[in-house]
Structure 1
């Protein structure tokens, strides 16, 4: 069975590729960077996408590509929409023409739910979409496109709304990786202590290890059932707790400094989700404890902190 993983060098895509290969599939990976994957493909180029799909005629496709940085999406909203929405349309159209029976798993985001009312948590898949950032709006638009192609053309399209992730290789534009990198740099500099600045240490998010996320995506690809599934742990953890857990696996004295100026547009106090639908469909549950995920992330930065990092 041939699987195509778009964005195969990213945090999620690299883990999905490894998981599908463990399950015996022939996997072709793409990225936008030549030499970092099997193929360099620009999803905003409809011709490139059609040529790729027409050549491979994959049976499973995982779309894990695109702009994931909120800061980048705010800075370049038009480019963000072109990549994260129009790129998905290009893929759907190519699949419709050349691989209509393929199973597509599209990685969306919990950000499509927008700022929650306290009584709305944990989010289920039935919660209304209220995207509050260019990034979330583009992902919501892509979800609508996925639903349209599933209904109008009978395509097998599964949408995953992914909550916050942790894992080696995570971009420092994401809070856990930013914190781990600061600690690794302080260790490398021979310092005894480090102060981690964070916009709101009490802000809570729902974190899942990227390898658990990849396992869920592979389960859904095997299932081939159209629909939308939350992918989350179901537990809320504060950013302050993330820093505390990192502090348990370093010799440094780690302290927290609240810096409200670090808050980003559309940041909210608490987000958590329910993965009950996913568990009912596949039996999936998260396996990797958060502390273990963070320890692996810190180890990654201990070996990678002296090299430039590609976001």
Structure 2
């Protein structure tokens, strides 16, 4: 007898973004029906060709409640992954905290309100960040979920606020919100606003003769817990299915690498010699020396562990940018 499994109906906000495209790929491979949101037409133009015919995309700005209601009332969702956000510390400083709160916090509240009305039984993934811990003393790292929240930048503030408001909906409406706190992650398609992608793009442009053989860098001493985005989206899917409601869960590799190590690894893949120069403009207003996460709870609930080594991840980021640069020649 053939067992027929009903596919899960899933909504991914910010589906056309970096993590969103990888999550679409992973969930499609599991046989689910995927809907996604975007804001600007150029996001759809950049959406990978192999996903366009398999994902139902909806234009929706989560900070506009009427758009959220219109988007949600047509379909009932079993699972929701909220990835729509201003998603970097650098952007949160440059765009200003008022816009960050409008997009990240009020967009999240609108989504919760809309789901309460239209899909009250959906399991909802709230993607927070390891940035909410702020500066954690090295002797207290790897950082566990019991560490107090002390965010030190607008992005982290907005994520901590999202977490806090989630409990209101969990308590008042029994909303099924699962909270994850991912640490740094990278991979193909990531914006050059992030350090690994920034270095890789510069190298690819130098190789293609589109800039002088000089790479500009900021703080190379900071150490970060890097994961591959493909490991991250697998963790998100497992966490939403298996982790308890309202209990924050770290998503981290458990290993810290310096930005210098990231740079040296990428330079080792370069096809041409490159000079390294420090650029004061690339220094953040606020930075932490070490960010290292403890993902023991995630392993306990789901069995997840990272599978892709950092060197393989960085090679794939550089190859992505080589393809992008070659396509523009």
Where 1:212 maps in the other structure, the secondary structure is helix
1:5 to 8, 12, 15: 12
**Shift in CA distance, 232/180, structure 1 to aligned 2, threshold 3 Å:** same
**Who is 2:146 aligned against?**
126
Distance in structure 2 (CA, Å) of the matches to 1:278 and 1:69: 23
Distance in structure 1 (CA, Å) of the matches to 2:169 and 2:157: 19
Question: How far has the Cα of 1:136 moved from its partner?
Answer: 0.8
**Who is 1:174 aligned against?**
194
Gaps of at least 5 residues in structure 1 are none
2:293 to 269, 273, 280: 273
Where 2:213 maps in the other structure, the secondary structure is strand
Q: Is the counterpart of residue 115 in structure 1 residue 132 in structure 2? A: no
Q: What is the TM-score of this pair, normalised by structure 2?
A: 0.89
**Who is 2:24 aligned against?**
17
**Who is 1:201 aligned against?**
220
Larger mean CA deviation between 195-204 and 135-144 belongs to 195-204
Structure 1 runs (4+) deviating above 6 angstroms are: none
Q: Is the counterpart of residue 159 in structure 1 residue 179 in structure 2? A: yes
Gaps of at least 5 residues in structure 2 are 1-7, 48-56
1:296 to 316, 319, 322: 316
Q: What is the TM-score of this pair, normalised by structure 1?
A: 0.94
Question: How far has the Cα of 1:155 moved from its partner?
Answer: 1.4
Where 1:42 maps in the other structure, the secondary structure is coil
1:219 to 234, 238, 243: 238
**Who is 1:251 aligned against?**
271
Distance in structure 1 (CA, Å) of the matches to 2:272 and 2:136: 36
Question: How far has the Cα of 1:198 moved from its partner?
Answer: 2.2
Question: How far has the Cα of 1:261 moved from its partner?
Answer: 4.5
Q: Is the counterpart of residue 64 in structure 1 residue 83 in structure 2? A: yes
Question: How far has the Cα of 1:156 moved from its partner?
Answer: 1.0
CA displacement, residues 133-165 of structure 1 (integer Å, 9 cap, x when unaligned)? 111101110111112211222111111111111
**Shift in CA distance, 243/172, structure 1 to aligned 2, threshold 3 Å:** same
Instruction: Provide the alpha-carbon RMSD of the alignment.
Output: 1.8
Kept in 1: contact 2:132–2:156 (CA 8 A): yes
1:30 to 15, 33, 37: 37
**Who is 1:185 aligned against?**
205
